[in-house]
Amino acid sequence: MAAACPLLLFFVFFAFFVLACSEESEAPPESAYAVGERIYANVCVACHHADPTQNGSLGPAVAGSSRELVIGKVLHGEYPPGYQPKRPGGNMPKYTYLEERIEELAVYLEKVGS
């Protein structure tokens, strides 16, 4: 009986390892909206309000912002042609490191206000 105990433990750990590594246990991919919401919460709330429909301490409400506005301000530090800023100043820094995730942030901001 004592020899069977280590063998039983081996099979239990092996089964656990196989189940833990199966494809079924992977989390589904996050939606663009959820990724954008997370980016906003981690980056933007330093200046904009946690609720994007409200003005923040430094930045204006950004809910409903167009894709062009988000890309222009976040990546290039510029407003798109013809856009009238909500506040004077325009001291927002560029966040070029967000280039690979800018579409998700734009999806979130465009939809959160609607």
**Domain range 31-112, its CATH number among 3.40.50.2300, 1.10.10.1100, 1.10.260.40, 1.10.760.10:** 1.10.760.10
Question: What number is the average pLDDT over the span 37-50?
Answer: 97
Three-class SS of residue 25? Answer: helix
In tens, the pLDDT along 46-103 reads 999 999 999 999 999 999 999 999 999 999 999 999 999 887 777 899 999 999 999 9
What are the Cα distances from residue 45, in Å, to 50, 54, 74, 101? 5, 11, 13, 17
Residue 51 tokens read as 């609720």
Three-class SS of residue 94? Answer: coil
Report the first-to-last Cα separation within the chain, whole angstroms: 67
For residues 50 and 40, the answer to whether their CB atoms sit within 8 Å is no
Distance between CA 47 and CA 35 in Å, rounded?
19
E strand or H helix that includes residue 26 = none
Q: What is the pLDDT of residue 28?
A: 78
